[in-house]
Amino acid sequence: MLRAGAGVAVRLAASPCLGSSSGAVACGKRGYTSGQESLKQTPLYDFHRHHGGKMVAFAGWSLPVQYTKSHLESHLHTRQHCSLFDVSHMLQTKVFGKDRVKFMESLVVGDIAELKPNQGTLSLFTNEKGGIMDDLIVTSTSEEHLYVVSNAGCMDKDFALMENKAKEMKAAGCDVSLEVSENALLALQGPAMAQVLQAGVTDDLAKLPFMSSVMTSVFGVQGCRVTRCGYTGEDGVEISVPASKAVELAEMLLRDPAVWLAGLAARDSLRLEAGLCLYGNDIDENTTPVEASLTWTLGKRRRAAMDFPGASVILSQIKEKPKKKRVGLTSTGPPIRQHMHIFSPEDKAIGEVTSGCPSPCLQKNIAMGYVESAYSKLSTALTVEVRKKSCPGVVTKMPFVPTHYYTVK
């Protein structure tokens, strides 16, 4: 995810989230392989193959890395028009019961109680050491349940975490229960999204701001939840659709020439340009929200109450400053990739790249990584070791490309 850096605020997940690359783009974790044995398939698997999707293994799923268009064409089309992504591998969970908010706040850092009906927020599962167990989006629905979307790569871990907490609370007399949604999940992302989607919904999308959702029919498909969020930095939605209707809806969206199909390669380079974290690369159980520059996810009331996992560690870091910080980097020379070492002007090893690729929009190398806090100030000159050679870089503000999350005028 972080589907969203969405100040992220999104998936992604997304990114997401937070969500979330391939040899084609080589952004994020290089978790793609061509082997398809024993992989889970989304309801759109045959649809992808029919449309020329190059299927790869990702987080235990068979997903398209790209289609007939090149990665560069797909990336730029998303920025200029809009693209359709299959993100059905994400875990969608519904939380029911009168103690559902108490339940969720026992696991995450966000202020879930303050959410209005059909409003969502990016939050983080944390452990007792303050480490990030996953990023997720929590929406308080008008149907009196919480709708939670978290990352596919953490699916088993996330559900076990929630299930164990639910059992614990039930044993204490609380009212809470979980349901895993079998819906597919489609992400329509890009500046043309609203025009494309408005033709298929009766709700006025101009009244649907970023991180809000609505239950509606989409091009005649009933029972869809449309959430204005995404993992690209562009205006976009994620549509939770009954699995049996996913292909039908995807085909209808593709009737508009503004819509192209896009895969994991474009998704990863788009999220990096938007400064969004990929769980397992840029955030994990060994990084805290403060180190990851995600302090804004901590609810003000939650900070005062210190009632979320790892609160003492996290709040201590806010007060005393962490030893390391996630930063954006731009560089010249060959692209910088995950795990490459970062050095100070004095040639001292100070950190490591977590994600990196050439930016299709900026025509230069971009990356993010962790450095000692003393070297995290914007415009600090650093070097990155690429194939045993030092390449100059500079700490750069994120997002690298301006984001266009929609707010009601």
State the CB neighbour count (10 A cutoff) for residue 8: 34
Torsion of the alpha carbons at 2, 274, 323 and 297, rounded to the nearest 10: -50
**Burial of 384 (C-beta count, 10 Å sphere; 0-12/13-18/19+):** buried
Q: 346 labelled as ligand-binding? A: no
Q: List the one residue out of 259, 227, 231, 258 whose CA is nearest residue 240.
A: 227
Q: Which residues contact 363 (CB under 8 A, 6 or more apart)?
A: none
Q: Please give the Cα distance from 315 to 320 (Å, whole number).
A: 9
Residue 212 DSSP symbol? B
Buried residues in 161-198 as b, exposed as e (16+ CB within 10 A): bbeebbeebeeeebebebeebebbbbbbbbbbbbebbe
Instruction: List the structure tokens of 394.
Output: 């500079």
Beta strand 213-218 with 349-359 is: unpaired
Binding residues: 238
Binding residues for substrate: 238
